[in-house]
A and B are shown apart, each in its own frame.
Chain A
C-alpha cells in the first residue's frame, strides 16, 4: 500500500534546497552556452550580459545552411545509430548465453569482455587508425561504429545480462514445453520481457558513442567527420567564432536530452546496470 511517509517540513526544505543548488550548478554552464549561442560575436566580445540583448538565431542559421556543419550532425547520427544496432544485435544472444548457461571458459570470457570497457581509447587510437586504413575503412561511418563497439558491446552484454538474470528461467522452459522453437521464443516472448533492459542498453550505447570524440576524430577526415570534431575548427578570419561554436554545442546536447526523456523511468535502474 503506497502511502506518503510524513516528514518534517524542515527536512523537505533542506532536500529541496540541496537539489535546487545542485541543478543550478549543472544548468548554469549550459545556460551560459545557450546565452552565447543567441548573441552575435560583437555582443559576446563587447558587452557582458546575463541574457542576449539582441536576440539572434544567425548562429544556428550558419549551422543549418553550411554543409560542413550539418553534415557533421548527420555523420554522428549515422555512426551512433549503426553502433547501437550492432552492439545490441550481437550482445543479445551473448547476454542470453551468459545469463542462462555455463560453458567452457565463460567467466574468463566475461572478464575479458569487461576489460575492453576499461581500455583507454588513447591506447587504441593509433592502432585503430592503422587497422582501418589497411582494410580501406578509414573515414567511413562503419569504422567509427565498429571502433565504438570496443567499449559498447561489453557494456551492452553486461547490462542485458543483468536484466535477463531477473527473468525466471521457468519462462524459457514453459515456452519450450509449449512448443516454441528457440528463435520464436526469443523474439516473441523473451525480447518483450526485457524490453526495458534493451532500452537501457541502447541508451548507454547511444550515450557513449555520442560523447566519444578521440576515436571518432582519429578514424575520420572528411566524409564521416563527427559534429564534435567539426567544432574544433571555428577560427575564422576575424578570430574565434564564439557564437557559432556555442550554437553547435547546444545542438549536440539536444539529441541526448531527447533520448533521456524517453528512458527517464529506467535511468536509475539502468545506471545500476540492471543489478539492483
Chain B
C-alpha cells in the first residue's frame, strides 16, 4: 500500500501538443493518501479514463511523473506496478472455478498452496461467495462476476492500489447499492487505496472519502462530499453535483453586496479585486433559496412545481433566467409567493468560473 503522487503530470494523445486544448489531461500536481478512497468523477471525455490509464500503466504520460510511495513508476508496465483493477464489464476467467479465479493472481506469483487457500477462503467469506467457490465462473450473474474480479484484486495483500473503472455499469440497479456497501465495508476492513472512476455522482459521493471532480482535462476540485456540496470550487462542480445543480447567476459585486439587474443581494463576506474578471457570477444551491411572499425578497415567477417525494422542486423565472428552489414536502406554494430569498452565508462568488474567497465582513 502506498500513497500516490502525481507530479507535474499531463498527457496529450497527439505528439507535440501546442495549445492547451491539445492536452487530454492538463498539468496537475496531486498527492493521494495511502488508504484513501478516492472517486474520479466527471462527464464522458473529461479525461478521467486517461488519468486512470496513466495510473494503471496502460498509458505513459507525455510529461510528469507518477510515484507509488517513493518509487517512480511512470514507465513501469502494469504488471510491475502492483495494482489491481476492476473493469467496466466483468473480466473473469470463464473456464476456471470461482476458487481458481481468486487463487490465480497468488498462484502466478508462486505463493505457497496453504497460504493461497487461507487467503482465498478469507476473501470469499468477505464477498459472501463461499458457497459458489466450486462453481464455474461462466454461469454466474454479472454482479457475482464483478465481485470475483474485485476479489482477484483484494486477494493480494500487498497491492498498492485498487482501481475501479465504472465497475457498476452492467450491474442491475438493485444490486448496485449492495455492491457499493460491500465495497465500502471492504475498504474499511483492508484499508487499500482505492480509486473509483465514475460519471455517477451518487456512486462517487457514497463511496469516496475524497471526490476528485474532473472537467475538460483538469481536476477542478478535490474534496469531501460536503465540500463539493457547500463550496464548489468551480461553477461546473456546482452544476454537476446536486440535483438539481447550483443556480449560477451573472452578477455585479460591490463589497459585501451582489447586484442582479439592479436588485441588491446581501453577501456574508466582503469581496474586492473582481474588476479584472471577464465574468462574475454568484452561485447558490436550490436548497438555500426560499420562496416567500415577504417584500424583502427578489421578484420571481413560478413556472412549474415538481413533487419528487421528500421535497418539491420549484422551477421559477428570475429576470428571464431559470432558477431552481427546493421547498420542503409539506410547503404549500401559492400565487402570492412571488419573491425569493437567498441565504447570504451560502452564496459563493465566482470570477471566470472559479470560486473567489471573500474577507470576513
- Residues of A at the B interface (CB closer than 8 Å) are 1, 3, 5-6
Contacts and interface: CB of A to CB of B under 8 A. Distances in A.
B97 interface: no
Nearest to B60: A6
A6 B58 CA distance: 8
Interface in B64-82: 77
Contacts of A3: 53, 58-59
A1 B77 contact: no
Contact of A6 (B49, B50, B53, B77): B77
A5 B77 CA distance: 9
Contacts of B50: 1
Interface in B13-52: 49-50
Nearest to B59: A3
Interface of B: 49-50, 53, 58-59, 77
5 contacts: A1-B49, A1-B50, A1-B53, A3-B59, A6-B77
A276 to B, nearest CB: 15
Given A1-B53, A5-B58, A6-B77, 5 more contacts: A1-B49, A1-B50, A3-B53, A3-B58, A3-B59
A1 B53 CA distance: 9
B58 to A, nearest CB: 5
A1 B59 CA distance: 10
Contacts of A6: 77
Nearest to A8: B77
B163 to A, nearest CB: 14
Contacts of B53: 1, 3
Contacts of B77: 6
Contacts of A5: 58
A6 B50 CA distance: 16
A105 to B, nearest CB: 32
Contacts of A1: 49-50, 53
B132 to A, nearest CB: 29
A122 to B, nearest CB: 40
B141 to A, nearest CB: 23
Per CB-CB distance, the 8 closest pairs between chain A and chain B, nearest first, are: A3-B58, A3-B59, A1-B49, A6-B77, A3-B53, A1-B53, A1-B50, A5-B58
A43 to B, nearest CB: 53
B283 to A, nearest CB: 33
Contacts of B59: 3
Nearest to B75: A6
B106 to A, nearest CB: 24
B321 to A, nearest CB: 37
Nearest to A6: B77
A1 B45 CA distance: 10
A10 to B, nearest CB: 14
B33 to A, nearest CB: 27
B77 to A, nearest CB: 6
Contacts of B49: 1
B265 to A, nearest CB: 44
A98 B49 CA distance: 41
A5 B50 CA distance: 14
Nearest to A1: B49
B252 to A, nearest CB: 43
B55 to A, nearest CB: 13
A237 to B, nearest CB: 65
Contacts of B58: 3, 5
A105 B60 CA distance: 58
A193 B45 CA distance: 28
A24 B50 CA distance: 41
A6 B59 CA distance: 9
Nearest to B58: A3
A6 B57 CA distance: 10
B346 to A, nearest CB: 39
B48 to A, nearest CB: 11
A164 B72 CA distance: 51
A1 B54 CA distance: 12
B87 to A, nearest CB: 12
B44 to A, nearest CB: 11
A3 B56 CA distance: 12
A6 B76 CA distance: 11
A118 B59 CA distance: 49
A3 B59 CA distance: 7
B287 to A, nearest CB: 37
A49 B50 CA distance: 57
A1 B50 CA distance: 8
A56 to B, nearest CB: 50
A6 B56 CA distance: 13
A8 to B, nearest CB: 9
B24 to A, nearest CB: 9
A3 B58 CA distance: 7
A3 B49 CA distance: 12
Nearest to A5: B58
A220 B9 CA distance: 73
B264 to A, nearest CB: 50
